[in-house]
Structure 1
Amino acid sequence: MNHDVIVTCALTGAGDTVRRSPHVPVSPAQIAASAVEAANAGAAVVHIHVREPETGAPSREVALYRDAVRLVRESDVDVVVNLTAGMGGDLVLDQEDPLKPVDGTDLVNALDRLPHIEELLPDICTLDCGSLNFGEGSRLYVSTPDMLRAGARRIQELGVKPELEIFDSGQLWFASKLVEEGLIDAPPLFQLCMGIPYGAPADPGLLQAMVHLLPEGARWASFAIGRDQMPWVAQSVLLGGHTRVGLEDNLYLSRGVKATNGRLVERAVGIVQDLGAQVASPARAREILGLTERADA
């Protein structure tokens, strides 16, 4: 069991959730305000995507990241900033002509997924460690071994901690190879992502098996989506890991009750404490993850 638990809040994500809940933050100001709310509730880390303010559609626009991160850093709340670097991997295929990408495709090379990381130098950025059939239909997430090595190398040069996003056991195998090859600085940080169709199912036995495959010295967290989100807080802590909640992964506090990020973090903090563990502060999270203290923190 982990007795010193980092709680991450994934604030908004890139899914089609804006129309399903009024609490999903969209504009940079809303995202920053939600980050502050989550931090005040006990989250040591906030995981940030950005969206087009007018439509709520997912975005890779650097200016939107710039505004959101500036507002978080200008607040009087200390929190570890984790920016997604996974946008730009979407490939949607035409059933009749598989070589023809169709609407919804946003596929760029490894380095073109990183301009906001280059400019803003967050504490952490994500690295999605493989390709995946992403749900029903003909949508794939594409991240090849060559792309991952190029991305990991550049993130390492920037001095940013990569959070290795793992959606199935093969991705864990490859991410461990990146560690072996010296492309990931110690201690490596893994996020085990469970229940996303069609990656690793949200099965406690599978989570335990994946934890046993982690390289020595790894720091890790896990989450599951939808109604498995809160049970997974306990699963993670009991197996020795950290945890993540937030509106990216689940919109409900209970049946029929729409959540906010702050309320989800409060619920996770309560579970951690009921298990007899303590919730790590941002300063303690930096120690655990081997992060450098920010001058503006």
Structure 2
Amino acid sequence: MNKKVILSCALTGAGDTTAKSPHVPVTPKEIADSAIKAAKAGATIAHIHVRDPKTGKLSHDVSLFQEVVERIRESETDVIINLTSGGGGDWIPSEDAPTTGGEGTDIQTPEERHEAIEKLLPEMCTLDCGSLNFGNMLYVSPTDWLRRQAKLVKNIGVKPELECFDTGHIRFANQLVEEGLIEGDPLFQFCLGIPWGAAADAETLSYMKSRIPDNAKWAAFGIGRMQMPIAMESLLQGGNIRVGLEDNLYLEKGKLATNEQLVDKAVGMVQALGSDIMTPTEAREHLNLRNPYGKEG
């Protein structure tokens, strides 16, 4: 177990959760405010998606990302910004014409997925390292597309968080490292419990961490009721942790959470086990972040 761990808060995600909880932030102001509250509660990193303010659905609008990022930066809240670059990968085959994307299909090119990263230069961004049966939908992230996207991220000096939803994703992430498309010590995020990816249990987590390079940093998260158990298991196995409303809506059975409440609960768990949370300044040094937008660590 590490003496200090990085705590990420995934604020809103892209799932259809806004009707299930009034606490899921939707507008840029709500998302930014939630990031600020999470940071004040102890989060090291704010992981950010954006939503259409009118519908609450997933959005790729760069201006929405820009408003969120600017609001956080202007607040002078010290938190590492981690923007998603995994949007636009949803493929739902049409029943009448299975080679055609049906209702809900949303596909972006690597360049389109990278647009907000290129413009806003966050300290970190996600890189989803493979395709997956995501429930009854196919998440599409082909290998050649990933190589193009990894190169774009490398060229602007942003730290990629290598999101791995299954063991094959780890194999390809390692291939990106071998090909020189990932600079420095790679950072892996094990995404556990999503149907139909890797299971959310201690054995799967142990196996996944055994397959990454010796110099790699890593974290893990579980979804739903497995959020806190996987956070604890990741902590015990020497990794970093993630909580937030993207992955789980409840503080406890029957009680809806806010992001800052989930962060506070995770901080308490970490400290109860004799560890503590890294500050953003400590995490910047630990991860060798370049601070692309010019803020000193």
| TM bin (shorter chain) | over 0.9
Aligned to 2:252: 254
Aligned to 2:187: 189
Matched, 1:227 2:225: yes
Distance 1:112 1:91 in 2: 16
Is the partner of 1:20 in helix, strand or coil?
A: coil
Distance 1:232 1:271 in 2: 12
Quote the residue 1:105 is aligned against: 105
Secondary structure of the corresponding residue to residue 209 of structure 2? helix
**Structure 2 residue aligned with 1:148, among 146, 153, 163?**
146
Question: 1: CA distance between counterparts of 2:222 and 2:73?
Answer: 28
Question: 2:32 maps to which residue?
Answer: 32
* Aligned residues of 1:73 and 1:296 also touching (Cα < 8 A): no
Partner of 1:176: 174
TM-score (norm 2): 0.98
Matched, 1:274 2:282: no
SS in 2 for 1:190: strand
SS at match of 2:219: strand
- Structure 1 vs Structure 2 CA RMSD: 0.9
Separation in 1 of the partners of 2:246 and 2:64?
Answer: 18
Distance 2:204 2:2 in 1: 19
Runs of 4+ in structure 1 deviating by more than 2 angstroms, as ranges, are: 292-297
Check conservation: 2:94, 2:103, Cα contact below 8 A.
no
**Aligned-partner Cα distance in 2 for 1:264–1:32:** 16
**Other-structure match for 1:15:** 15
Instruction: Give the residue type in structure 1 aligned to 2:239.
Output: G
Matches within 5 A, 1:194-213: 194-213=192-211
Query: CA-to-partner distance for each residue in 1:131-160, whole Å, 9 max, x for gaps?
Result: 001103xx1000011000000001000110
Where does the alignment leave 5 or more consecutive residues of structure 1 unmatched?
A: none
Structure 2 gap ranges (5+): none
CA–CA separation in structure 1 for the residues paired with 2:55 and 2:97? 30
Q: TM-score, normalised by structure 1?
A: 0.98
Letter in 2 for 1:164: L
1:115 paired with 2:115, answer yes
Match of 1:244 in 2: 242
Residue 103 of structure 1: CA displacement?
A: 1.2
Cα displacement (A) at 1:290: 0.8
Aligned to 1:72: 72
For residues 114-137 of structure 1, the C-alpha deviation after alignment (integer angstroms, 9 at most, x for no partner) is 11111000000111000001103x
2:93/2:99 contact within 8 Å kept: yes
1:292 is displaced (CA, Å) by 2.3
**Bigger CA drift: 229-238 or 9-18?**
229-238
Give the conservation status (yes or no) of the 8 Å contact 2:42–2:264.
yes
Q: Distance in 2 between matches of 1:288 and 1:236?
A: 18
Identity among equivalent positions (%) equals 54
Letter in 1 for 2:85: A
**Aligned-residue offset at 1:96:** 3.6
For residue 80 of structure 1, what is the amino acid of its counterpart? I
- The CA distance in 2 between the partners of 1:23 and 1:15, in whole Å, is 14
CA deviations over 1:14-57 (Å, ceiling 9, x no partner): 00000000000000000000000000000010000000001100
Give the letter for the 1:231 counterpart.
P
| CA distance in structure 2 between the aligned counterparts of 1:82 and 1:134, rounded to whole angstroms | 22
Distance 2:52 2:153 in 1: 25
Of 30-39 and 272-281, more deviation after overlay is shown by: 272-281
Q: Do 1:5 and 1:277's aligned partners in 2 also have CA atoms closer than 8 Å?
A: yes
Q: Deviations over 1:197-217 (max 9, x none)?
A: 100011210100111111121
Contact 2:157 2:290 in 1 (8 A): no
Does the Cα contact within 8 Å between 2:201 and 2:230 map onto a contact in 1?
no
